A and B are shown apart, each in its own frame.
Chain A
Amino acid sequence: MTDRPKRHDDDVIVCRCEDVTLGEIRRLISEGYHTIDEIKRISRAGMGQCQGRTCRHLIARELARALGVPQEEVEMPMFRPPTRPVLLSTIARGEGDE
């Protein structure tokens, strides 16, 4: 693990669905994970219920700061369907009645 100076907000939660802290995101960046996708895959940040609706932007900002690039250069992962969680039974039932 790379030594990294501790920051005042390291223990603040970034991804609430999966309980990932800002410190963990910073540690992964310092270990060389430089894309949102990699950080998501290794930490689960953004894989939860809300699919990263809030945290992916916070992670993008953190990456931009750490890498010294403008945020537009941080590649955003795709948003995949569904836009909100859907019951398998709803999908199977379709428009039919119960």
Chain B
Amino acid sequence: MSAGVLSVHAKPNRAATLILSWALFACGIALYFYVSHARHRDNPEDRVMPTIEQMARGMYSAALHPAEDDEVQTETGNFWQDFPHSMLWKDTKASSRRFLYSMLLLIPAVLLGLHMGLFPYVGVFFLRFILFFDKIVALSLLPILFIAFGIDELSKIMLIVIGVAPTVILDTFNLTRGVPPEQIVKAFTLGAGDFDVAYRVVLKQILPRVLNSIRLNLKAVMLFLFAGEMIASTDGLAYRIALLRRHMGMDVIVPYVLWVALLLFVVDWGMRFANRKLHPWFHE
């Protein structure tokens, strides 16, 4: 007898997997356009739920019309020439730059966690402080950061780092402590020094898990990035969303939100792919 649909032993076939995994997307999109259509039938000027045509126009304008502050103000009709001058590209570039700097600043956080986990004195020195720091709500530090670092890039990047780094440090610390002591002793008996053990034995073993931990924190990175951009910025994806909110520009806000989700999805997929390629021995 085959297992029922709700049975623990059920094995969805390929077609069922494909249909079920996309079903909620299809339902969500259908529901949105049904409600949007109904609202527009009652009020053709409705701006809360733009139609697909309105969103396509909004996105076309954001992606192909030159940004207001761009020196080039004429369209050529060629996508590859127009896109680099568009609002969408400039916002994406600005947010990506902040995102990239923040990610690079997480490297020292990983190294600190590694050293804390491996070298007892480093652990003793930092652990209590990091545990305390981890409990501070990063957004509550935003005014202090703006006062201390001004409203330029540094304060926004610091907000991301302060928000995410303690979690990454503690995750790396715990992963380091999780390496079997037998392996560390073994490495020493094979002639390794302290830093050989740290970088050639422990870091290499925990790196795939550290990357997974950073992947899980990508949303937090974006959250702090958006908070910083929404409050004090003159460009960036979140700045644009905040700006358009004032004009009820839902025809651009919705595509922007989907664009951000897509970018994050691509980054996450890229990191997962790199993790698999760089660490073929690692099985999640």
Does A pair with B?
no
| A interface with B by C-beta (< 8 Å) | none
Mark B residues whose CB is within 8 Å of A.
none
